[in-house]
Each structure stands twice: as structure tokens, then as C-alpha cells.
Amino acid sequence: MWSNEKIEKQREYFKEQRTTKMGKFTEFTVRTYYCIYKSCALNNKQYCLGSDASSYKINKIIYEGFYGGVPDHDNKNVIDDCKKKLKEMGYIKFKKENNVWLIYVIKNLDFLLPGEHEFYIEKFGIEHEIQFF
């Protein structure tokens, strides 16, 4: 995980990107987070199987409305990079249990603009929000 200073700098960058409606990577990161969040919420847990949020499975959701739905780059690496950023910033973590990779959602994104969390909850059809302990 990154230092608090580096996390804060990245959080401010993402927040600025949300404010100016710039930065596809920031949007891809948010969508990646909510794909993972939805997989966890479907199980009423704070974690999901890593395979439930694999880059292959969430690809169409991440790129909806961009590039005509067909990315012009190596989309798997972009989604993996989004997951890495989310992990380094402390929003998710990966843990291997019984030879199965799990993804834990640790906290809500705190760089979203007012109302965006609710927007994504509705957009992704998330019926139960995750309770953080």
C-alpha cells in the first residue's frame, strides 16, 4: 500500500478528474470498483471471488460508452492497472484462501463528487450496499 501522502495526491488527482469530466482512466477505475462492489453485494459480503470480477468479465461494463465498446488498446492491462490503483490506495485488497483469490472491498471511494456513489449504485443495479466493519 502507498504512503498516506501518495494516496492523498492520487485521491486529489482523481477528484479533479471527476470535477472536470476528464480522464478516462479515472472513470475506468470507478467502474472497476463498482463491478467489484456489485459482485460482493450480490453475496451480501465484503468480498467476492476474484473470478467474479475478472478483467474478461467486467470488460464490457468498464468500456460502455467508450471507443464504441471496443477498446483501441490492451484493455486487460488497463483494468488490471485500475485494480492495482484501488489496492494501493486501500479501497480493495486481494487475499488467497483455500487456493482461491478473493477481492475484499475495504471502503467506499472518497474522491467521488456528491451524488456519484448513489448514481453508480443505481447504474450497476446494486440492491444491497456493503456494510463496512
Single pTM value for the model: 0.92
Average pLDDT, stretch 29-35? 96
Band of the pLDDT at 75, cuts 50, 70, 90?
Answer: confident
At 105, phi and psi to the nearest 5? -90, 120
| Nearest of 38, 81, 31, 39 to residue 59 by alpha carbon | 31
- Cβ atoms of 117 and 28 within 8 Å: the answer is no
pLDDT (0 to 100) of residue 64: 83
What does the pLDDT look like over 100-130, one tens digit per residue? 999 999 999 999 999 999 999 999 999 988 9
| Strand 47-49, strand 100-105: pairing | antiparallel
* pLDDT, tens digit (0-9, with 9 covering 90-100), for 41-54: 998 899 999 999 99
